[in-house]
Structure 1
Amino acid sequence: MRWIDTLEGAAAGKLPEAVHRYFRQGSAGGVSVGEATVAWSSYRFRPRVLNDVSTISLGTTVLGTPVDAPILVAPSTMQRMADPDGEIAMARGVSAAGSVLGVSSNAGTTFAELGTTGVPWWLQIYVVRNREITLRMLDAAVAAGARAIVLTVDTPVVGRKEDEGETVWDLAQPGQLLANLPDGDWTDADLAKADDLNPDVIGRLAERTGLPVVVKGVLRGDDARRCADAGAAGIIVSNHGGRQLDGSVATAQALPEVAEAVAGSSLEVYVDGGIRRGEHILAALALGARAVFVGRPALWALTVGSSGGVTRLLSDLAEELDHTLRLVGVSSPSSLTPDLVTSAGPR
């Protein structure tokens, strides 16, 4: 068995049940979270032969930042429940693997602390109803060295989780999340997600921060074009790990339409959701993604092996990608093309 496949079970043995459930669960009936990995595994390859694959180069750039492989870590919260050092441990593991870290705006580690690790990081932001909170958080991230802003757009309200009994919120301790909430006497209404956003927010965030803005939560080609027209530097094809609208299309199915819609533009396309193998990464890159994000696997690796576990996860996936590139007859991710992938196997 692959080490990666053992991680969730090993993490379940270390985490309180409510925390493990929070990390793995989707919204409502769990349809989207259950389909994510299966959707990637439904693709089939049409490999090229008689091509020189004696040397493989996995390195690329994401918004100008060099990475050793096109495998990045998605933003997630409650990391201090997975490891006492939380985002610091995650950052060290990501840095050692030569990757980029997405940092949740709900993180339990301050941006200033993250900045000292040297890891290249992007801030994931929710625009909340009290815009002052969002603006001050953005300013703090810029001051601490964030390299991009990831605007989450699929959360006008938080998806319904059908919990019973003890929840992660019953176990959360002060300091485990919202370490970057600016000082103030904020109400729940202040912190509620903004439900009145339009594409203009992309330009406003870029102007405020001077950083590229990546829009996370895009599943349609027409929405991708709206983001591009509004000045986005990138988009992440994402259904929030199946945690928002249950029944949302799998990202493996949404990616081709989105990538085609913005083909020829400078906008960079990324994808997350259910990616667990080198073959899944190969399919994503061939279908138009510049890089992929992994979320839950990074949490399991952090729980089981702290920084070293995160580094091993990214390194193992990179090795699998190297292997699959050789077998598909291509020497680098930039040479992958959609004709290498077909949507279904033999019937």
Structure 2
Amino acid sequence: MAEPTVTDLPAQAPPVCLADFAERARAVLPPDVWDYVAGGSGAEVTLAANRAALDRVAVVPRALRGVETPDLGARLLGRPYAMPVAVAPMAYQRLLHPDGECGLAAAAGAAGVPYLASTLGSTPIEEVAATGAEIWFQLYWLREKALVRDLLARVREAGCRALVVTVDVPVLGRRFRDLRNAFRLPSEVTAVNLPNGRDDLAHSGTPGVSAVPAGATFAPALGWDDLAWLRERVDLPLVVKGVLDPRDAQEAVRVGADAVVVSNHGGRQLDGAPASVRMLPEVVDAVGDRCQVLLDSGIRSGTDVLRALALGAGGVLVGRPLLWALAAGGRAGAASALDLLAGELRDALALAGCPDPAAAGALRTLRVD
């Protein structure tokens, strides 16, 4: 695959913020695909709350700190990365662009950040790992434990650096946009990491029904004992994603998690759940230095990354903005978005008087109502 450049993007004024990619993606995507990615569950109260809550976090900058060019480097799960950012796990990326998971993973690798490969990826984990990016694998717990074992064996063989277990999908949230659209996947986009046929129903549309699989595939009765079983059998760093209640964060530490991701699944699961950033300080206080805390859901800019760091996160997961960039320009679009995010974060740190991401944890924050 040839190394892409920003000039490979469609001929138009270059994006100046991540929101610009959303406008371009909407112009090229079928309406039902746009809705599938952009939408949340229910009345989308939590989806809107993620953005509103981040905008209410004011960061108090420090003056005369002698900072000209901050170093963006940070450690996630004990490993050094170019910035405190990871690409969130997102399903069916070939739905948005033929480059799909490999394109976004390659862009992440070039940017020096980890890429979280989804169980519901539309490109085999082995091919994604072959891009050379640092891969963390996101696991949806399957109903049959033997299938979980098989998938874990593939993850190890592919050289993934961490295992991220999503724990907030006992059932799929009711996503009204998908139901109204009778959303289904095109025949060429499949969940290739699942056993053969496990997402057959995802390709058959029925009015008032979304075809995206969950109930027939995932185990709704997942419990902490299952996480303990996993911890005993996996020698990779273990991340628990989908935690909002500090008590659950403490349970994750108890079973041996190396990190937790404070997340409401981008507003796509329980509508009415709190914004992730609202729960972040409580989770940080609950776990102390016993594991790393990452933030997911609603991150849209370098300023948002700074807000998360100032509230105690060790890093963030970025999702939809990178899918919009992928849709707008394939691998080159994703690379451009990550470069733009790095520039925004560098500016935000400099303006706040921080020489590096770690220093942001000492900043004061205020809630602006």
TM-score (norm 2): 0.88
Q: Which runs of 5+ in 2 are unaligned?
A: 1-14, 201-212
1:197 CA displacement: 2.0
1:102 CA displacement: 0.7
Aligned residue in 1 for 2:273: 248
Tell me, yes or no, if the aligned pair for 1:101 and 1:120 is still in contact at 8 Å: yes
The one-letter code of the counterpart of 2:169 is T
For residue 333 of structure 1, the aligned residue among 343, 349, 357 is: 357
Aligned residue in 1 for 2:100: 86
Q: Which moved more, 1:203-212 or 1:185-194?
A: 185-194
CA distance in 2, matches of 1:12, 1:300: 8
- Find out whether 1:259 has 2:284 as its counterpart: yes
1:206 CA displacement: 2.7
Aligned residue in 1 for 2:221: 196
For residue 216 of structure 1, the aligned residue among 241, 244, 253 is: 241
The one-letter code of the counterpart of 2:116 is G
Aligned residue in 2 for 1:153: 167
CA distance in 2, matches of 1:160, 1:152: 18
Aligned residue in 2 for 1:168: 183
**Structure 1 residues 36 and 209: CA distance shift in structure 2, 3 A:** same
Aligned residue in 2 for 1:227: 252
Aligned residue in 2 for 1:316: 340
**Structure 1 residues 139 and 256: CA distance shift in structure 2, 3 A:** same
CA distance in 1, matches of 2:17, 2:71: 24
CA distance in 2, matches of 1:190, 1:319: 41
The CA deviation string for residues 15-74 of structure 1, in whole angstroms up to 9 with x for no partner, is 111111000000011101112112111111222112110241110121133211111110
CA distance in 1, matches of 2:45, 2:75: 34
**Structure 1 residues 336 and 90: CA distance shift in structure 2, 3 A:** same
1:202 CA displacement: 2.2
1:200 CA displacement: 2.2
Tell me, yes or no, if the aligned pair for 2:69 and 2:346 is still in contact at 8 Å: no
Aligned residue in 2 for 1:178: 191
Tell me, yes or no, if the aligned pair for 2:171 and 2:214 is still in contact at 8 Å: no
For residue 275 of structure 1, the aligned residue among 299, 309, 321 is: 299
CA distance in 1, matches of 2:296, 2:99: 25
CA distance in 2, matches of 1:314, 1:121: 16
**Structure 1 residues 131 and 39: CA distance shift in structure 2, 3 A:** same
CA distance in 2, matches of 1:232, 1:261: 14
1:141 CA displacement: 1.2
CA distance in 2, matches of 1:338, 1:198: 36
Tell me, yes or no, if the aligned pair for 1:212 and 1:233 is still in contact at 8 Å: yes
What does 1:60-71 correspond to in 2, within 5 Å? 60-71=74-85
Classify the secondary structure of the residue corresponding to 1:282. helix
The CA deviation string for residues 191-214 of structure 1, in whole angstroms up to 9 with x for no partner, is 432122222222322333321110
The one-letter code of the counterpart of 1:68 is A
CA distance in 2, matches of 1:218, 1:3: 29
Q: Which runs of 5+ in 1 are unaligned?
A: none
Query: What is the number of equivalent residue pairs in this alignment?
Result: 342
CA distance in 2, matches of 1:113, 1:59: 27
Aligned residue in 2 for 1:238: 263
CA distance in 2, matches of 1:180, 1:214: 20
The CA deviation string for residues 88-145 of structure 1, in whole angstroms up to 9 with x for no partner, is 1111111111111011101111111112111001111111222222221111111111
TM-score (norm 1): 0.93
1:323 CA displacement: 0.9
Q: Which moved more, 1:133-142 or 1:300-309?
A: 133-142
CA distance in 2, matches of 1:185, 1:276: 33
The one-letter code of the counterpart of 2:166 is T
For residue 32 of structure 1, the aligned residue among 12, 37, 46 is: 46
- Find out whether 1:290 has 2:314 as its counterpart: yes
Tell me, yes or no, if the aligned pair for 1:76 and 1:104 is still in contact at 8 Å: yes
The one-letter code of the counterpart of 2:194 is L
Tell me, yes or no, if the aligned pair for 2:191 and 2:199 is still in contact at 8 Å: no
CA distance in 2, matches of 1:186, 1:18: 19
**Structure 1 residues 185 and 7: CA distance shift in structure 2, 3 A:** closer
CA distance in 2, matches of 1:147, 1:221: 26
Tell me, yes or no, if the aligned pair for 2:119 and 2:191 is still in contact at 8 Å: yes
CA distance in 1, matches of 2:216, 2:142: 6
The one-letter code of the counterpart of 1:239 is N
Q: Which moved more, 1:56-65 or 1:292-301?
A: 56-65
CA distance in 2, matches of 1:254, 1:327: 26
The one-letter code of the counterpart of 1:181 is L
CA distance in 1, matches of 2:30, 2:198: 31
